[in-house]
Amino acid sequence: CADNKKYRIGVSQCSQDDWRKKMNDEIQREIMLHEDATVEIRSADDNSAKQIADLHYFVDNDFDIIIVSPNEAAALTPVIDDIYRKGIPVVVFDRNINSDSYTARIGVNDYDLGRSAAHYAINILGKSPTAIEIFGLPGSTPAEDRHVGFEEKFRANGGEILGSAPGNWNQDTAEHVADSMLRLHPDVDLIFAHNDRMAIGASEVAKRLGRDSIRIIGIDAAPLIGIQAVADGVIDATFLYPTEGYRLIQTALAILKGEHYDRETVIPASSAVDSTNSDILLLQNETLEAETDKMTLLKRQIDDYWDQHSSQTILFYACIVI
């Protein structure tokens, strides 16, 4: 840019997992296209205290903008309120806070995702099915919203939720929870897990307990985990939870440069990924990865070219001076 300013963008992720890795890769790819910006991504490893420390790190080190996916809404809201009030722009994405102290927010309609999951369940199971629910992390907004959407739609069609317990978004906890709930409910038709990792864990437990006929639905559809699990018949369906890392960087830069941006972006819920479309989606992903690799290579070659070009130019002028 004109004054050579490098915009420093801090990204605070609440967790580290397949879904976030996909998003972080998208962020890193997008930043390659902006010579005037750098990004640093920190992960809080599911720990709200660590995330608060990460946010302080960005403030103390004079980052120009902070992008944050808050682990738990209640724990993170006061800190984000405070940063926003100091005048530092904040973009909240994926998980929300309990206030509107942000410059922009980008999220998915999790309530609709829950409804879509219930709609799919009713379609495959018929009227009046029973379910157990493996909840995400209580107090994180996608879990709360997916729960409400699912429960409403499932109940409206005569479905009954026999039990619901937190799996905290991770596979190990989900396995414990699935084990006790499946033993408690020997005839349940469906497991609805708030993400694919937990759905895959529940599937392993169901298999161990000889409960092969139980249907299992997750959310995320990260290609190598969720969609692969559907293609392998480990779970029945998943729903795409878009990552769109590029959008975060574009929004942050628009804010910093005083350009137009949307304060609220709600990405609509998607339709199901199941055995009818999982293979084609995996294939599409392979093509996309190959194209992305080519783009990365091209960018590296251009950078190398410019590096060589500028060192040769320096050498040339040095020779003239001598």
Q: How far is the CB of 18 from ligand FRU (least distance, A)?
A: 8
Residue at shortest CB range from ligand FRU: 195
Alpha-carbon span 84 to 91, nearest angstrom: 10
Rounded CA gap, 270 and 44, in Å? 28
| Rounded least distance, CB 94 to ligand FRU, Å | 5
Please report how close the Cβ of residue 220 comes to ligand FRU at its closest, in angstroms: 5
Smallest separation, CB 12 to ligand FRU (Å): 13
Would you say 11 or 37 has its CB closer to ligand FRU? 11
Counting Cβ atoms within 10 Å, is residue 285 exposed (0-12), middle (13-18) or buried (19+)? middle
C-beta closer to ligand FRU: residue 68 or 219: 219
Q: Which residue lies nearer to ligand FRU by CB, 200 or 231?
A: 200
The CA distance from 189 to 78, in Å, is: 41
Give the pairing of strands 37-43 and 190-193. unpaired
Task: Let me know: does 15 contact 43? Beta carbons within 8 Å.
Answer: yes
> What is the CA 143 to chain-centroid distance, rounded?
13
Q: Which is nearer to ligand FRU, 58 or 239 (CB)?
A: 239
CB of 252 to ligand FRU, least distance (A): 19
Q: For residues 108 and 120, give the distance between their C-alpha atoms in angstroms, rounded to a whole number.
A: 19
Residue 109 or residue 130: which is nearer to ligand FRU going by CB? 109
CA angle centred on 145, ends 144 and 148, rounded to 5°:
90
Binding site for ligand FRU (CB under 6 A): 15, 17, 19-20, 94-95, 140, 142, 169, 195, 219-220, 241
